[in-house]
Chain A
Amino acid sequence: MLLVEPQTHTALPSNRAEWLDRHLARVCILSELTPTQFRKAEEKYQAVGDWLATDGSSLAVFAPEVYSQGSMLLGTTVRPYGQSEYDLDLVCQLHWCAQQPPLTIYDWVHERIAANEIYREMLEKLKRCLRLNYAGSFHLDILPACPNDRIGNGSIIVPDRKLECWKHSNPKGFAKWFLDRCQLRDELAERMLKASVEPLPSAVPSQYKFPLQRIVQLMKRHRDIYFSGGRDIARSVILTTLAGRFYKGQRSLSLALEGVLDGIHFALEANPTVPRVENPTHPGENFADTWDQAKYEQFKSYIRNFRTGLKALLNPSLTEQRMGLEKSTERLGHLFGSDRVKEVIRIEANELNERRNSGKLGIAAGGVLTARSQAGSAAVPRNQFFGR
């Protein structure tokens, strides 16, 4: 999964979709965990796992196993709106415990974590999970769980403190479904998002991502902008499920996103009343069980807004085309936040300057800027713009 991103000597985009592919990938890269943050988060959660499982731990007899779930496992992290801290979800799965009352399991895990002086200071009790706050960068939400032996296949049950009951879950099964969907085309070239580029050309290469992972990140980012940070109408799990269901394996990020939004849009338009969004790995579980008609209408308008905006970027009217980059930047800003989009433009300007200064900028017939390596192009000599 972790592959090197393409370099800046690749051709400059020759059409709008290619330009958008690159731009959208950069919006994602600026919104996700950096490789350093990712490694740090992994270290932290492995340390928690060791603390829970080590000899002498009160939980050792249950052979606890800590693994990531949600966006960290799916590769779809997005920094929450207006915050610097990422939510990272972990499962602390015990064994041979399904016969215990749900609250007992929750309390056992809580007790063991609190037995560590450092963790005690950072620990917070939430409805279903225990939260460790790593101030300024992320928090780890640890979900105590027992295997659901009746179903198997990675199924677990998790305590609900409020309802004092067990809830079904299957993060491993869901991730397997999602990552299968990511690889819808089996050729390597089809699977990788060629257009995504590291924010700063000289920095450490970031991760390759599948277009579907980027699509989910973009849907989450637009959700955060559209609902000003509100997440309950368009929960990440709903977005991930719908994106996975309607993705058809396109390689271009912008065209794949358009396809997904078309698919969702038409499915919703065919459903005037509140539909179910079934868990693909646990039929019968409705991810959209909190939707009422009003929330559903808001979800529809979020999809409509996203789709209209993206289509205008891919196929602008003549008037918008005449306004050039300025209009596209404005439209992208409405979708993903204007500060984020301007930051990407800045990165693109730096990249252009780097090509310019290293003799890698070319000009094709007709005056179109391109990579020097492009056949038929002529090198653009260095120049200095003059004037006030």
Chain B
Amino acid sequence: MNRIKTIGIRDQAAWVRTRNPGFRCDVTGGLLTCRGLLQPGPMNATYDVVIEYRVGTWPKVYVPGDQLRPLEPGGKIPHTYAPAEPCVFYPSRSSWRSDMKLSHTIIPWLSLWLTFYEMWRATGEWHGGGISHGAVKELEPAA
């Protein structure tokens, strides 16, 4: 079995702050919470985003409040677990492992997700690809 050199929670926080100086990070009881503003590109809106991570679980991202909106009331936003919770990666160890930096994976993926979200709002089509929940039988536990 390959050994993975898990990045500690405080190192993860330091990387997020280095790459995103505007983010506030806080570690309480092993749970890292980072919050800050993300604007993926010059034409995009600026989003208030939250990243949550505890070693041994999958990182989660939130775009709280009603910043993300479906095309019609009650409609579904593609590739989300909940209206304010985008799914930015397929939860498998081949996508994300605990030796990866949140700042270099989860945050850029969220920027990408937001870019495709805005294209979806603009055109009604999801151009970002991805895997749908139905296509997966069993989820792996986090590394």
Contacts and interface: CB of A to CB of B under 8 A. Distances in A.
B partners with A: yes
Contacts of A349: 116, 119, 127-128
Interface in A303-324: 321-324
Interface in B65-88: 76, 78-81, 86-88
Contacts of A378: 19, 104, 108
Nearest to A388: B133
Interface in A339-360: 342, 345-346, 348-350, 352-353, 356
Interface in B10-55: 19-22, 38-46
Interface stretch (A37-45, A267-275, A364-372): A364-372
A201 B134 CA distance: 32
A352 B115 CA distance: 10
B89 A367 contact: no
A385 interface: yes
Nearest to A14: B42
A324 B44 CA distance: 4
A383 B95 contact: yes
Interface string A234-251: 000000000000000000
Contacts of B104: 363, 378-381
Interface size class of A (residues with CB under 8 A): 35 or more
Chain B interface size band reads: 35 or more
A388 B108 contact: no
A168 to B, nearest CB: 47
A12 interface: yes
A328 interface: yes
B45 A324 contact: yes
A104 to B, nearest CB: 57
B130 A384 contact: yes
A13 interface: yes
Interface string B121-134: 11101011111111
B127 A325 contact: no
B111 A363 contact: yes
A345 B112 CA distance: 15
Contacts of A329: 122-123
B78 A388 contact: yes
A276 B102 CA distance: 64
Contact of A388 (B40, B118, B122, B132): B132
Contact of A367 (B39, B42, B43, B118): B39
Contacts of A328: 43, 122
B108 A367 contact: yes
Contacts of A87: none
A383 B105 contact: yes
Nearest to A316: B43
A330 B118 CA distance: 12
A167 interface: no
Given A19-B41, A385-B129, A369 B115 contact: yes
A347 B35 CA distance: 32
A9 interface: no
B20 A365 contact: yes
Interface in A1-33: 12-16, 18-19
B81 A387 contact: yes
A164 to B, nearest CB: 54
A329 B119 CA distance: 9
B108 A363 contact: yes
Contacts of A12: 41
A145 to B, nearest CB: 47
Contacts of A352: 112, 115, 127
Most chain A CB inside 10 Å of its own CB: which residue of B20, B78, B105, B108: B108
A188 to B, nearest CB: 27
B42 A15 contact: yes
Contact of A385 (B43, B107, B131): B131
A124 interface: no
A11 to B, nearest CB: 12
29 contacts: A13-B42, A18-B42, A19-B43, A324-B44, A324-B121, A346-B125, A352-B112, A352-B115, A361-B112, A363-B107, A366-B20, A366-B38, A366-B39, A369-B41, A369-B108, A381-B105, A383-B95, A383-B109, A385-B86, A385-B116, A385-B128, A386-B91, A386-B130, A386-B131, A386-B133, A386-B136, A388-B79, A388-B80, A388-B132
The 8 tightest CB contacts between A and B, nearest first, are A385-B130, A349-B127, A324-B45, A387-B87, A329-B122, A386-B87, A363-B108, A325-B118
Interface of B: 19-22, 38-46, 76, 78-81, 86-91, 95, 100, 104-105, 107-113, 115-116, 118-119, 121-123, 125, 127-134, 136
Given A323-B45, A363-B111, A386-B79, 5 more contacts: A16-B43, A366-B21, A367-B20, A385-B116, A386-B133
